[in-house]
């Protein structure tokens, strides 16, 4: 297809999509006919500007702005006092997307158009979410911005400390990754709140903190023994999600070794999902409510994880140098008792740097996961109901048996 014809086609398509959405909102500024013209105006202006100068694009933008101002003036004169500016901003941005299309940046233009469409269509959902955001939640958002947008860019990107494994930028980048995953779960929790069902409750709990979820539901079962079946399912589901988190962390920390590390960890995840499914059928008619979740973007918690991760990095390097793989596995078992993220990220990064074999990395990660199951069972036995403890015995035993079988039988 001729490049110009392709650009015109994409402009019309984006204009029709956005115009249809605006038409359905009964916008009096522009709709399914006006928006394609705006996109085409941007594309044509961009093509002409290639020969006659960029002032053509500026003149087109000012002309469009003048039309929008005049249309709003007529609305106000007719008594339609609508202070909203969403359609006007969408029209101006669509014009610029049309210009972007004329430069050949087709993929970027389509992505921007898709994002615009989603934002326009999700008005009710976004307004509902904003209404649910309180001071506590706003603080979480601001602190995440501090962690990721302010602190990360200024952290030194160089190696320091024993064994040269402390790179402040890499350490804090992993902090941002973990907080991002947890904050995503917290956002889902805010959308669904305490009404989240068992499955969603377990998923959210695993995204935010599977250990905290285990403690919460163990305490609930201690207060009400009838909740034991549901609590067992939620705890096991959260544990599955925590192993799923590991897959994401490996993909980010060791993209070049992902394929070599992932299969045995994925097999462990599959076994955990089977165990969770068995629990589900014993309590699928029960309803559950999510306990109150804490802000996962607290700066103190982020700093503590960063410190833990830095300590694990040094411990892994020292254990590997002095005791070989056995030392690394010992560190993995001890670290995994309370936190799988630090040992997962450190092992994956060592594999990515080819300091250890991928097989050593996945074995360390698997040992950490098994240790984490042991810690959660100990937590349930210490503070949970006896019925819940009995239910968790075969679940924990099954997970440990599968993990041990993978360690023993998996090739490599």
CB distance 388 to 218 below 8 Å: yes
Query: Contact at 8 Å (CB) between 160 and 168?
Result: yes
Query: What value does the mean pLDDT take over residues 314-319?
Result: 80
Render pLDDT for 373-401 as a digit per residue (tens, 0 to 9). 999 999 999 988 888 899 999 999 999 99
In DSSP terms, 160 is beta-bridged to 166
Instruction: Give me the count of residues in the chain.
Output: 412
Give the distance from CA 330 to its chain's centroid: 30
Asked if pLDDT for residue 222 goes beyond 90, the answer is no
The string of pLDDT tens digits covering residues 150-177 is 888 888 888 777 777 788 888 888 888 8
Residue 213 to residue 265: CA distance in whole angstroms: 22
Q: What are the distances in angstroms from CA 14 to CA 10, 27, 89, 98?
A: 6, 17, 15, 9
244-270: burial string, b at 16+ Cβ within 10 Å, e else: bbbbebbebbbeebbebbbebbebbbe
Q: Which of 54-68, 190-204, 332-346 has the lowest mean pLDDT?
A: 190-204
pLDDT of 327 above 80: yes
Percent of all residues in the chain with a pLDDT value above 90, rounded to a whole number: 22
Q: Which residues contact 85 (CB under 8 A, 6 or more apart)?
A: none
CA–CA distance, 116 with 125 (Å, rounded to integer): 15
pLDDT of residue 203: 80
**C-alpha–C-alpha distance, residues 139 and 412, integer Å:** 47
Under 8 Å CB-to-CB from 269, ≥6 apart: which residues? 240, 243, 244, 247
Q: How many CB atoms lie within 10 A of CB 231?
A: 33
Do the Cβ atoms of 29 and 87 come closer than 8 Å? yes
Which alpha helices (H) appear in 103-150, and where do they start and end?
Answer: 106-121, 123-132, 135-145
In tens, the pLDDT along 109-143 reads 888 888 888 888 877 777 776 776 667 777 777 88
Residues in contact with 219: Cβ distance below 8 Å, sequence separation at least 6, in sequence order: 383, 384
């Amino acid at each position: 297809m001729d490049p110009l014809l392709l650009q015109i086609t994409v402009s019309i398509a984006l204009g029709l999509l956005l115009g249809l959405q605006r038409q359905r909102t009964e916008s009096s500024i522009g709709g399914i006919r006006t928006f394609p013209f705006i996109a085409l105006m941007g594309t044509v202006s961009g093509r002409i500007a290639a020969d006659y100068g960029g002032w053509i694009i500026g003149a087109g933008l000012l002309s469009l702005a003048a039309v929008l101002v005049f249309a709003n003036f007529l609305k106000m004169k007719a008594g339609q006092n609508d202070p909203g500016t969403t359609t006007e901003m969408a029209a101006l941005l669509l014009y610029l997307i049309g210009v972007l299309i004329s430069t050949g940046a087709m993929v970027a233009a389509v992505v921007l158009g898709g994002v615009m469409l989603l934002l326009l269509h999700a008005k009710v959902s976004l307004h509902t979410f904003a209404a649910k955001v309180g001071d506590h939640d706003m603080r979480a958002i601001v602190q995440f911005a501090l962690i990721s947008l302010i602190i990360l860019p200024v952290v030194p990107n160089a190696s320091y400390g024993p064994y040269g494994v402390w790179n402040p930028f890499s350490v804090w980048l992993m902090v941002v990754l973990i907080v991002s995953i947890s904050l995503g779960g917290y956002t889902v929790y805010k959308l669904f709140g305490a009404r989240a069902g068992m499955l969603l409750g377990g998923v959210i709990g695993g995204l935010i903190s599977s250990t905290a979820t285990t403690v919460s539901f163990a305490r609930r079962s201690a207060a009400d023994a009838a909740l034991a079946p549901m609590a067992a399912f939620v705890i096991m589901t959260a544990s599955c999600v925590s192993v799923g988190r590991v897959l994401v962390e490996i993909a980010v920390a060791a993209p070049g070794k992902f394929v070599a590390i992932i299969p045995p960890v994925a097999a462990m995840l599959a076994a955990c999902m089977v165990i969770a499914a068995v629990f589900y059928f014993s309590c699928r008619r029960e309803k559950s409510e999510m306990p109150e979740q804490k802000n996962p973007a607290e700066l103190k918690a982020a700093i503590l994880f960063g410190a833990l991760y830095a300590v694990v990095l040094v411990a892994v390097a020292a254990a590997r140098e002095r005791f070989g793989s056995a030392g690394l596995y010992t560190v993995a078992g001890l670290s995994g008792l309370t936190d799988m993220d630090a040992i997962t990220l450190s092992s994956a990064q060592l594999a990515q740097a080819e300091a250890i074999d991928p097989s050593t990395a996945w074995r360390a990660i698997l040992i950490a996961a098994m240790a984490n199951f042991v810690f959660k069972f100990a937590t349930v036995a210490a503070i949970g109901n006896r019925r819940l403890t009995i239910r968790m015995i075969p679940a924990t035993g099954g997970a440990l048996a599968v993990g041990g079988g993978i360690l023993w039988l998996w090739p490599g």
